[in-house]
């Protein structure tokens, strides 16, 4: 309610709550209706259909059952099979692992950009923005060329003796991690840089003067100041990495299939929408669960929490 | 301000190289004379010629441009109104609704793609509307673009000096005049960068397009994907190189429109 009073003063217009609501309808209304129709209704549809079943021609059938979910958790019609639980676990591990990798790489980059003189700073930032806006598909298939048996990276790996003669580096889980890191690194660098740029270095100097070592002063004087950027960046990487489809599809094989690939498989070639919906729902629930835990940890660390 | 040490600089330069490796590799191979494989067989520009005679690629380019322009235009209108409304007016449950409006920014794209595929399929069976094609793709793209436009426009509105509008009102301008003479010109750079952002997002989108496209509405990313699946040809490298160049130009456009202080003060 405080907000309303403030606005009334600022724009010199006396608007009653009713007037404001009417004006909201005329401005925000169409976008809200659009997003509801094309996003929230379809998403609710996914929830509903995940409890239906697939007919023999791929059509949707009643009654409502939990069969799709029990199949997802391994209790299918042929006894226990941990295929999908493994896929879920693998996706979550990939998301966590690639987020950590991105964090390790983004930290030096963000500090490097913040430490440049203003002349080079904008250039360095734009150089991070360009891959960010370049088609992810293109960046991913380029790695296919580099990691194929004849590719440059594979040749180097063969020369060093990491892999056997004439062996490709893809499809493999390592290739999926590499592709994910390359694709999502800018997502973490940009918000992290915004925080690093604002660091009050006098606090760090004070910590050093008081006898803190490099690690201690990073932990107690630098880290608390960059938590907001780091927290935003982690979500920006973690969420799309959980649901990613292109990178595992192009750089991984059947053994590195992730949630995104399974969903695509069910909605595409297999045409089992109810099961695909159940996978998607389980994915969302896992994602929400991870974000809630993450938010808890952040709040405990004294941060404000993101959600 | 701290100076960069040699280890930090070296690490960062290596990371830049890592980020640019794929982009540079595609560009180099678009000039490779070899038709198959990744071995270097000498410099040529003939693949660009092949590309411009590739009927399929030209039609995909046309579809991509129609899709990006149409969706960006509608999304800019809806997103600007949303950003304006959210930063100006109160309504019941506003905080909750505003949070929901940003779901398209964070939702994994595969989820949105399959939800829309299913929605279109059921609507077609029930009502005979939403036959998969360019129009369904436009609707889908608008859905994720709106939120991005609204974020950009709202950020611009927050940075605006309210005294300017107040002064105009005090000097006797009516609401219409205040909006078109003061508010809109101040919002305009935000609207433009929102529009460019929406356009770029549409150009780059593969996952949502892939699931909501019909026969004959292939876009460039879909074409690239199917070529990658069949085995990449050099003219696809040429196409990718041109798309990267287009993205670079669009980024330059967005950066030029952004007020400087967004980077340094806020």
Does A63 reside within a domain?
no
Calculate the CA dihedral of residues A283, A288, A290, A291 and round it to 10 degrees: 140
Q: Looking at residue B263, what is its pLDDT?
A: 43
Say whether A133 and B243 touch across the interface (CB within 8 A). no
How far off is chain A from B8, nearest CA to CA, in Å? 6
Q: Looking at residue A64, what is its pLDDT?
A: 78
Cα–Cα distance measured from residue B116 to residue B122, given in angstroms and rounded to the nearest whole number? 10
Average pLDDT, chain A: 84
Task: Give yes or no: residues A25 and A95 share one domain.
Answer: no
Q: Among A59-73, A104-118, A257-271, name the one with the lowest average pLDDT.
A: A59-73
State what percent of residues in chain B have pLDDT above 70. Answer: 95
Q: What angle do CA B73, B153, A131 make, to 5 degrees?
A: 75
Q: Is A245 on the interface with B (CB under 8 A)?
A: yes
Contacts of A38 in chain B (CB under 8 A): 116, 119, 139-140, 142-143
Residue of B nearest to A147 (CA): B38
pLDDT at B89 over 90: no
Q: What angle do CA B14, B18, B19 make, to 5 degrees?
A: 120
Of residues B15, B20, B142, nearest to A109 (C-beta): B15
Q: Looking at residue B115, what is its pLDDT?
A: 93
Q: Is B176 on the interface with A (CB under 8 A)?
A: no
Q: Is B73 on the interface with A (CB under 8 A)?
A: no
Domain interval for residue A5: 1-35
Contacts of B146 in chain A (CB under 8 A): 31, 34-35
Contacts of A34 in chain B (CB under 8 A): 78, 142-143, 146
Task: Give yes or no: residues A123 and A217 share one domain.
Answer: yes
Of residues A23, A46, A182, nearest to B18 (C-beta): A182
Calculate the CA dihedral of residues B144, B147, B149, B152 and round it to 10 degrees: -140
Cα–Cα distance measured from residue B189 to residue B80, given in angstroms and rounded to the nearest whole number? 12
**Which token pair is A76?**
């299918």
Task: Give yes or no: residues A277 and A185 share one domain.
Answer: yes
A206-241 pLDDT, tens per residue?
Answer: 888 888 888 888 888 888 888 888 888 898 899 888
Number of domains in chain A: 2
Does A146 reside within a domain?
yes
How far off is chain B from A265, nearest CA to CA, in Å? 11
pLDDT at A305 over 50: no
Does A305 reside within a domain?
no
Q: Looking at residue A226, what is its pLDDT?
A: 87
| E strands present in chain A | 53-54, 60-61, 75-76, 79-80
In this structure, what DSSP letter does residue A255 have? G
Q: What part of B 8-67 touches A (C-beta under 8 Å)?
A: 8-9, 11-12, 15-16, 18-23, 25-26, 29, 37-39
pLDDT at A23 over 70: yes
B115-157 pLDDT, tens per residue?
Answer: 999 999 889 888 888 888 899 999 999 999 999 999 999 888 8
Cβ count near B17 (within 10 Å): 10
pLDDT at B265 over 60: no
How far off is chain B from A6, nearest CA to CA, in Å? 11
Q: Looking at residue A301, what is its pLDDT?
A: 67
Please report which confidence band the pLDDT of residue A303 belongs to, taking 50, 70 and 90 as the band edges: low
For A73, counting Cβ atoms within 10 Å of its Cβ (0-12 exposed, 13-18 middle, 19+ buried), the class is middle
Q: Is B126 on the interface with A (CB under 8 A)?
A: no
Cα–Cα distance measured from residue B154 to residue B169, given in angstroms and rounded to the nearest whole number? 22
Does A217 reside within a domain?
yes
The mean pLDDT of B98-114, rounded to a whole number, is 89
Q: Which residue has the tokens 């891959």?
A: A131
Q: What part of A 221-240 touches B (C-beta under 8 Å)?
A: 235, 239-240
Please report which confidence band the pLDDT of residue A43 belongs to, taking 50, 70 and 90 as the band edges: very high
Question: What is the per-residue DSSP string for A70-130?
Answer: HHHTTEETTEE-THHHHHHHHHHHHHHHHHHHHHHHHHHHHHHHHTS-HHHHHHHHHHHHH
Say whether B228 and A250 touch across the interface (CB within 8 A). yes
How far off is chain A from B106, nearest CA to CA, in Å? 7
CB pairs under 8 A between A and B: 271
Q: Is A270 on the interface with B (CB under 8 A)?
A: no
Which phi and psi angles does A261 have, rounded to 5°? -70, -40
Task: Give yes or no: residues A23 and A112 share one domain.
Answer: no
**Which token pair is A107?**
């930290």
**Which token pair is B166?**
């107040």
Q: Is A68 on the interface with B (CB under 8 A)?
A: no
Cα–Cα distance measured from residue A236 to residue A241, given in angstroms and rounded to the nearest whole number? 9
- Whole-Å CA distances, A281 to A81, B212, B214: 20, 20, 26
Q: Looking at residue A6, what is its pLDDT?
A: 46
Please report which confidence band the pLDDT of residue A307 belongs to, taking 50, 70 and 90 as the band edges: very low
Residue of B nearest to A150 (CA): B38
Does A293 reside within a domain?
yes
Q: Looking at residue A253, what is its pLDDT?
A: 79
**Which token pair is A48?**
């509903």
Does A60 reside within a domain?
no
Considering only CA atoms, which of A186, A207, A97 is closest in space to residue B23? A186
Say whether B85 and A38 touch across the interface (CB within 8 A). no
Say whether B221 and A186 touch across the interface (CB within 8 A). no
Supply the angle between the helices B6-29 and B234-257 in degrees, to the nearest 10: 130
The mean pLDDT of B166-183, rounded to a whole number, is 88
Q: Is B185 on the interface with A (CB under 8 A)?
A: no
Cα–Cα distance measured from residue A56 to residue A58, given in angstroms and rounded to the nearest whole number? 6
User: What is the ipTM for the molecules in this complex?
Assistant: 0.88
pLDDT at A20 over 50: yes
Residue of B nearest to A265 (CA): B114
**Which token pair is B38?**
């990744």
Q: Looking at residue A30, what is its pLDDT?
A: 94
pLDDT at B237 over 70: yes
Query: Best mutation site among A3, A15, A42 for testing chain B: the one with the most B CBs within 10 Å?
Result: A42
Of residues A49, A122, A267, nearest to B211 (C-beta): A267
Q: Which residue has the tokens 């930063």?
A: B87
Maximal CA-CA distance, chain B: 73
Say whether B114 and A151 touch across the interface (CB within 8 A). no
Task: Give yes or no: residues A197 and A105 share one domain.
Answer: yes
The fourth-level CATH superfamily of domain B24-257 is: MetI-like (1.10.3720.10)
């Amino acid at each position: 309610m405080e907000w309303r009073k403030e606005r009334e003063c600022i724009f010199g217009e006396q608007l009653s709550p009713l007037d404001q609501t009417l004006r909201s309808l005329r401005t925000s209304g169409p976008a809200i209706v659009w997003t509801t129709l094309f996003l929230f209704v379809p998403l609710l549809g996914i929830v509903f259909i995940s409890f239906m079943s697939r007919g023999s021609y791929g059509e949707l059938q009643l009654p409502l059952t939990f069969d799709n979910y029990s199949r997802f958790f391994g209790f299918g019609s042929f006894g226990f099979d941990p295929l999908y639980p493994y896929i879920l676990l693998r996706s979550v591990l990939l998301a966590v692992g690639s987020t950590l990798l991105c964090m390790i790489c983004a930290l030096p980059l963000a500090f490097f950009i913040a430490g440049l003189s203003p002349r080079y700073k904008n250039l360095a930032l734009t150089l991070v923005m360009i891959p960010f806006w370049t088609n992810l598909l293109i960046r991913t298939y380029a790695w296919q060329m580099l990691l194929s048996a004849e590719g440059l990276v594979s040749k180097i790996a063969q020369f060093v003796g990491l892999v056997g003669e004439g062996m490709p580096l893809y499809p493999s889980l390592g290739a999926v991690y590499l592709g994910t890191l390359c694709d999502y690194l800018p997502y973490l660098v940009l918000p992290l840089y915004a925080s690093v740029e604002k660091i009050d270095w006098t606090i760090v100097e004070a910590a050093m003067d008081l006898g803190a070592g490099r690690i201690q002063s990073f932990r107690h004087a630098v880290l608390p100041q960059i938590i907001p950027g780091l927290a935003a960046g982690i979500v920006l990487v973690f969420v799309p990495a959980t649901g990613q489809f292109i990178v595992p599809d192009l750089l991984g094989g059947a053994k590195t299939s992730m949630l995104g690939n399974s969903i695509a498989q069910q909605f595409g070639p297999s045409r089992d929408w109810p099961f695909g919906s159940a996978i998607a729902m389980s994915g969302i629930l896992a994602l929400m669960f991870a974000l809630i835990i993450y938010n808890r940890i952040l709040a405990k660390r004294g941060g404000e929490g993101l959600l | 301000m701290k100076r960069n040490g040699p280890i930090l600089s070296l690490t960062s330069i290596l990371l830049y190289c890592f980020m640019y490796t794929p982009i540079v590799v595609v560009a180099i191979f678009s000039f490779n004379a070899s038709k198959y494989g990744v071995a270097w067989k000498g410099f040529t520009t003939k693949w660009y010629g092949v590309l411009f005679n590739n009927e399929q690629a030209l039609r995909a380019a046309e579809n991509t441009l129609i899709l990006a322009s149409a969706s960006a235009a509608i999304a800019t209108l809806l997103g600007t109104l949303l950003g304006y409304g959210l930063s100006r007016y109160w309504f019941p449950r506003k905080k909750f609704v505003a949070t929901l409006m940003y779901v398209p920014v964070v939702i994994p794209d595969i989820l949105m793609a399959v939800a829309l595929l299913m929605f279109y399929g059921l609507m077609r069976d029930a009502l005979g509307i939403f036959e998969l094609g360019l129009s369904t793709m436009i609707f889908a793209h608008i859905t994720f673009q709106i939120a991005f436009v609204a974020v950009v426009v709202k950020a611009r509105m927050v940075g605006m000096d309210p005294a300017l509008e107040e002064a105009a009102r005090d000097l006797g301008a009516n609401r219409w005049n205040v909006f078109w003479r003061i508010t809109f010109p101040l919002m305009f750079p935000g609207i433009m960068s929102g529009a460019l952002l929406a356009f770029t997002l549409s150009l780059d989108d593969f996952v949502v397009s892939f699931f909501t496209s019909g026969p004959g509405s292939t876009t460039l990313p879909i074409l690239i994907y199917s070529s990658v699946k069949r085995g990449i040809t050099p003219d696809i490298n040429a196409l990718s190189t041109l798309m990267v160049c287009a993205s670079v130009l669009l980024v330059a456009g967005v950066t030029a429109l952004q007020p400087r202080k967004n980077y340094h003060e806020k």
